[in-house]
Amino acid sequence: MSSPRPRAAYLDHAATTPMRPAALTALTAALGHTGNPSSLHTAGRAARRTVEEARERLAAALGARPSEVVWTAGGTEADNLAVKGLFWARRTQDRARRRVVVSAVEHHAVLDPAFWLAEHAGAELVLLPVDRDGVVEVEALRAELEANGDTVALVSVMWANNEVGALQPLDDVVTLAHRHGVPVHADAVQAVGQVPVGLAASGVDALTVSGHKVGGPGATGALLTRRGLELTPVLHGGGQERGVRSGTLDPALITAFAAAVDEAVAGREAHAARVGALRDDLVRRVLAQVPGATLRGPADAARRLPGNAHLTFAGCEGDSLLYLLDAAGVEVSTGSACQAGVPRPSHVLLAMGVGEDDARGALRFSFGHPSTSDDVDAALAALPGAVERARAAGLSSLVDA
């Protein structure tokens, strides 16, 4: 009989993280209840109460009013609602508002809707450049708004980059955009529970949150929208969520999502300190033990997510490294999970000025609430050998060619 495989060192929490005990408890308690929150009978009213209590809990955790929370089926839907909904609403108010300004390193849940609007809805897309750390060039935004502010429909800049962990200068983005009457959307999917996130305090007009990134269930998310912000619906149907987002709500998923966010935000400082120390240990040891390893994103820990370490390995293919590490029981990512398996370099690294060859050798290590020093030790036990094998395979293929 073969011995069971030891517990995997899971270092891909930026892709998804295990559910928190509080979320599991809330989910299982609610799953036994029946009722459509839109129904008027007793079961329906009980389901509505669960939804509204979760709305209040999520809003309190993220510095918003309950009326500013719009439930969605995940971060992707929330980003689509923000980008498309803001664009169409602004165009309705003022036909000149046709420019959509987004950073070049946004998640594809923002980039793809923006490109779609340019191809199908008459939008003019402007991609803001970033510096070598993956941080938006504020002066480029200033120049764009000073030249074309009257025609900009919205600005979308993520709170923190999902690949290299770079925190974005949202204070400056909001100040500049509001000076020209332009609303700002921020995808905060990676940031919640790692750095302070608040709708009112940040000044952003719309904010995306996702459940499974913070220890909640999948297929849950929310778009927080400043009171008075007009959005054109993307989904049409029963008129739920004040007509902004139609679709029957799932009280069990929603209450578990709110419980996860509440717990993640309440424990944020201790969590950030703990995973930041694990991340720093991993980076230090990788750079010391693996020749040709380069840290990408801000070197200053205060300017990046505490749970993120993104490195490139010269002469390697990221996919090869991923499979070699996986065979050794270490689970990591080459970047955004939504782009996994696509044989092209990360658009984030290319926007940062990283060459295509170097960009192909990227790995993202990301820590979460269950992470321990054992995960770091496992990664360092497997990584040097995996890099050697990947480089040897690359050299062999060059010789064969």
CA-to-CA dists, residue 83 to 16, 73, 87, 113, 251, angstroms: 23, 16, 6, 7, 26
- Over residues 37-67, the pLDDT tens digits come to 999 999 999 999 999 999 999 999 999 999 9
pLDDT of 4 higher than 70 = no
- Over residues 268-317, the pLDDT tens digits come to 999 999 999 999 999 999 999 999 999 999 999 999 999 999 999 999 99
CATH H-level, domain 9-18+268-400: superfamily: Aspartate Aminotransferase, domain 1 (3.90.1150.10)
pLDDT of 201 higher than 60 = yes
Tell me which residue of 135, 227, 207 sits closest to 172, measured CA to CA: 135
Beta strands in 4-55 (DSSP E): 9-10
Residue 127, strand partner residues: 102
Measured between alpha carbons, how far is 323 from 316 in angstroms, rounded to an integer?
12
Two domains, one topology: 9-18+268-400 and 21-266: no
What is the pLDDT, as a whole number, of residue 399? 45
The residue written with tokens 């991993």 in the block is 282
What is the pLDDT, as a whole number, of residue 341? 55
The catalytic residue positions are 338
Record the pTM.
0.95
Q: pLDDT band at 340, cuts 50/70/90?
A: low
Instruction: Give 360-397 as a DSSP string.
Output: TTEEEEE--TT--HHHHHHHHHHHHHHHHHHHHHHHHH
Q: pLDDT band at 398, cuts 50/70/90?
A: very low
With beta carbons less than 8 A apart as the criterion, state whether 369 and 20 touch: yes
- Structural domain spans, the chain: 9-18+268-400, 21-266
CATH of domain 21-266: 3.40.640.10
